[in-house]
Structure 1
Amino acid sequence: MIKVLFVCLGNICRSPLAEAIFNAKVKESNLLSSFKSDSAGTSDFHIGELPDERTIFTGKKYNLEMNHRGRQVNRTDFRDFDYIIAMDDNNLRNLNNMKTRYGFPDKEIFLMRDFVPGSEGLSVPDPYYGGDEGFEEIYKILDVALDNFLTKVKETHQLYV
């Protein structure tokens, strides 16, 4: 089973939406038995909380199943997940510091938009302090990035249905 962890700062906006979109794409590809995904935050700001109401609204708009409570990245995540994907540079930097501190210096951490040609190095913007349009924007960004990520993973692991 291929395990994927999506990471943002508080785990209530970008990463739970990425997790929900990814799960829908995996289900659509008839690959549910091949994947396990989760999301987490690098901060402890929203542990135990439901996703932001605007994240939930956006998920419902696109018929996404979202069953998540905020949690913080921990040591076992570096051991257990095959792919850890950060939403932005700050979280990428935090994850790279954590992996060394937790004893996993060789663990590769990915940036979400690096899977989109022409968008390498760009962040998925944090919509928390904005309006509903920011959540629509990150949905569109994540939808494309996750299509590309899933295609890459299917090729890498030779997953054919």
Structure 2
Amino acid sequence: MIRVLFVCLGNICRSPLAEAIFNSKVKVAGMEAQFKCDSAGTSDFHIGELPDERTVKCAEKYKLPLNHRGRQVNRTDFRDFEYILAMDDHNLRNLNNMKVRYGFGEKEIYLMRDFVTGSQGMSVPDPYYGGQEGFEEIYTILDEAVDRFLAQLIATHHLYA
């Protein structure tokens, strides 16, 4: 089983939406048994909270089930997940600092958009301080990035439905 963790700052906007998109695409592909997916935040701002209501609204629009409570990245995540994807440079730096502190210095952390040709090194913008249109924008970005990432996983691990 391939384990994937999506990470943003508070774990109530971008990362739970990425998790929902990934799980939906895996289900459509008939590959649910081959993946475990979760999301977390680098901060402790929203531990135990439901996703932001704008995230929920966006997920409902695209018929994506959201079953999530905010949580913070912890030491065992670096052991348990083969793929850890950060939404932006700030969270990438936080994760790289954490992995060293926790003794996982060799662990590779990816930026979410690194799998999209022409978008490598770019962040998924944080929509928290904006309106619903920001959540629509990140849905579009995440939908493409998850497609490309899943295709990469299928090719790398020689997976079949």
Q: How big is each residue's C-alpha offset from its partner over 1:74-116, in whole Å with a ceiling of 9 and x where there is no partner?
A: 0000000010000000000000000000000000000000010
Aligned to 1:58: 58
Unaligned runs of 5+ in 2: none
Aligned positions of 1:1-161 closer than 5 A: 1-161=1-161
Once the 2 structures are TM-superposed, how far is the Cα of residue 35 of structure 1 from its aligned partner? 0.3
Runs of at least 4 residues of structure 1 off by over 4 A? none
Partner SS state of residue 110, structure 1? strand
TM-score normalised by length of structure 2: 1.00
1:29 aligned partner, one-letter code: A
Once the 2 structures are TM-superposed, how far is the Cα of residue 160 of structure 1 from its aligned partner? 1.4
Partner SS state of residue 85, structure 1? strand
CA distance in structure 2 between the partners assigned to 1:107 and 1:28 by the alignment: 30
1:49 aligned partner, one-letter code: E
1:91 aligned partner, one-letter code: N
Give me the identity figure in percent. 75
TM-score normalised by length of structure 1: 1.00
Partner SS state of residue 60, structure 2? helix
Unaligned runs of 5+ in 1: none
Once superposed, what is the RMSD of the aligned Cα atoms?
Answer: 0.3
Partner SS state of residue 55, structure 2? helix
Q: How big is each residue's C-alpha offset from its partner over 1:31-65, in whole Å with a ceiling of 9 and x where there is no partner?
A: 00000000000000000000000000000000001
- The size of the alignment, in residue pairs, is 161
CA distance in structure 1 between the partners assigned to 2:160 and 2:19 by the alignment: 22
CA distance in structure 2 between the partners assigned to 1:16 and 1:158 by the alignment: 27
Partner SS state of residue 137, structure 1? helix
CA distance in structure 1 between the partners assigned to 2:126 and 2:61 by the alignment: 19
